[in-house]
Amino acid sequence: MTAQGLAADLLIRGGLIVDGSGAAPFVGDVAVRGDRIIYAGNSFAGEAREAIDAKGRIVTPGFVDIHTHYDGQAVWSETLSPSSSHGVTTAVLGNCGVGFAPCRKDDHQALIRLMEGVEDIPGVVMAEGLPWDWETFPQYLDALAARPRDIDVACLLPHSPLRVWVMGERALAREVATEDDLAQMKAIAREALDAGAIGFATSRLNIHRTKTGELIPTYGADTRELVAITQAMAEAQTGVFQAVLDAPFESWEAELGRLVAVAEASGRPATFTFALANTGSPNWDEAMAVVDEAYARGLDLAPQILPRPVGLVSGWALSTHPFCLCPSYQPLADLPLEEQLPKLRDPAFRAQVLSEIPQPGHPLAMLTRIWDWMFPFGDPPQYEPAADQSIGALAKAQGRTPEEVAYDVLMERDGTGMILNTLGNFHDGKLDALLGLMRREDTVIGLGDGGAHYAAICDASYPTFMLTYWVRDRTGERMTLAEAVHMLSAKPARVVGLADRGILREGYKADINVIDLDGLTLHAPVIRHDLPGGGRRLDQSATGYAATIVSGQIIRRDDQATPARPGQVVRGMQVAPAVEFA
Residue-level length of the chain: 582
For residues 288 and 440, the answer to whether their CB atoms sit within 8 Å is yes
Highest mean pLDDT among 206-220, 274-288, 423-437: 423-437
Instruction: Check residue 249 and give its pLDDT.
Output: 63
Instruction: Check residue 89 and give its pLDDT.
Output: 98
The mean pLDDT of the chain is: 94
Least confident segment among 73-82, 108-117, 303-312: 108-117
Domain with CATH 3.20.20.140 in the chain: 64-303+441-495
Band of the pLDDT at 14, cuts 50, 70, 90? very high
Instruction: Check residue 580 and give its pLDDT.
Output: 57
Those residues with Cβ within 8 angstroms of residue 250's Cβ, 6 or more apart along the chain or in another chain: none
Mean pLDDT of 160-186: 95
Residue type, 75: V
- Report the alpha-carbon distance of residue 579 to residue 577 in Å, rounded: 6
- Residue 581 pLDDT exceeds 70: no
For residues 65 and 460, the answer to whether their CB atoms sit within 8 Å is yes
HSE toward the beta carbon, residue 249, CA cutoff 13 A: 11
How far is residue 315 from each of residues 171, 338, 411, 538, 547, measured CA to CA in Å? 35, 13, 9, 11, 33
Strands across the sheet containing 418-424: 310-314, 418-424, 374-377
Q: What digits encode the pLDDT tens for the residues 460-514?
A: 999 999 999 999 999 999 999 999 999 999 999 999 999 999 999 999 999 999 9
Phi, psi of 410 (to 5 degrees): -65, -25
Model pTM above 0.85? yes
CA dihedral 383, 389, 391, 393 (to 10 degrees): 140
For residues 318 and 538, the answer to whether their CB atoms sit within 8 Å is yes
Radius of gyration over every alpha carbon of the chain, rounded to an integer in angstroms: 24
Instruction: Check residue 363 and give its pLDDT.
Output: 72
Q: Does domain 64-303+441-495 have CATH number 3.20.20.140?
A: yes
Mean pLDDT of 315-324: 95
Q: What digits encode the pLDDT tens for the residues 360-412?
A: 877 777 788 999 999 999 999 999 999 999 999 999 999 999 999 999 999 99
159 backbone φψ class: left, alpha, beta (φ>0; ψ -120 to 50): alpha
CA dihedral 348, 349, 353, 359 (to 10 degrees): 140
3-state secondary structure of 372: helix
Instruction: Check residue 579 and give its pLDDT.
Output: 65
- Report the alpha-carbon distance of residue 498 to residue 93 in Å, rounded: 14
Band of the pLDDT at 1, cuts 50, 70, 90? very low
Instruction: Check residue 364 and give its pLDDT.
Output: 74
Mean pLDDT of 262-266: 96
Those residues with Cβ within 8 angstroms of residue 532's Cβ, 6 or more apart along the chain or in another chain: 76, 124, 125, 126, 128, 129
Question: Of 155, 158, 266, 260, nearest to 216 (Cα)?
Answer: 158
Mean pLDDT of 541-567: 98
Q: What digits encode the pLDDT tens for the residues 39-49?
A: 999 999 999 99
- Report the alpha-carbon distance of residue 511 to residue 191 in Å, rounded: 29
CB burial class (10 A; 0-12, 13-18, 19+) of residue 198?
A: buried
Domain with CATH 2.30.40.10 in the chain: 7-60+508-562
Residue type, 403: E
- Report the alpha-carbon distance of residue 511 to residue 91 in Å, rounded: 12
- Residue 97 pLDDT exceeds 90: yes
174 backbone φψ class: left, alpha, beta (φ>0; ψ -120 to 50): left
| Domain 7-60+508-562 class in CATH | mainly beta
Instruction: Check residue 115 and give its pLDDT.
Output: 83
Those residues with Cβ within 8 angstroms of residue 427's Cβ, 6 or more apart along the chain or in another chain: 276, 277, 278, 279, 282, 433
Instruction: Check residue 367 and give its pLDDT.
Output: 84
User: In 53-195, which ranges are continuous DSSP H helix?
Assistant: 73-76, 108-118, 123-129, 137-145, 159-167, 169-172, 179-195
- Report the alpha-carbon distance of residue 546 to residue 533 in Å, rounded: 33
Instruction: Check residue 127 and give its pLDDT.
Output: 87
Instruction: Check residue 56 and give its pLDDT.
Output: 98
- Report the alpha-carbon distance of residue 312 to residue 320 in Å, rounded: 8
3-state secondary structure of 201: strand
Mean pLDDT of 64-72: 97
Instruction: Check residue 116 and give its pLDDT.
Output: 83
Instruction: Check residue 316 and give its pLDDT.
Output: 97
Those residues with Cβ within 8 angstroms of residue 73's Cβ, 6 or more apart along the chain or in another chain: 80, 450, 451
- Residue 340 pLDDT exceeds 50: yes
Share of the chain above pLDDT 90, in %: 86
Mean pLDDT of 427-452: 95
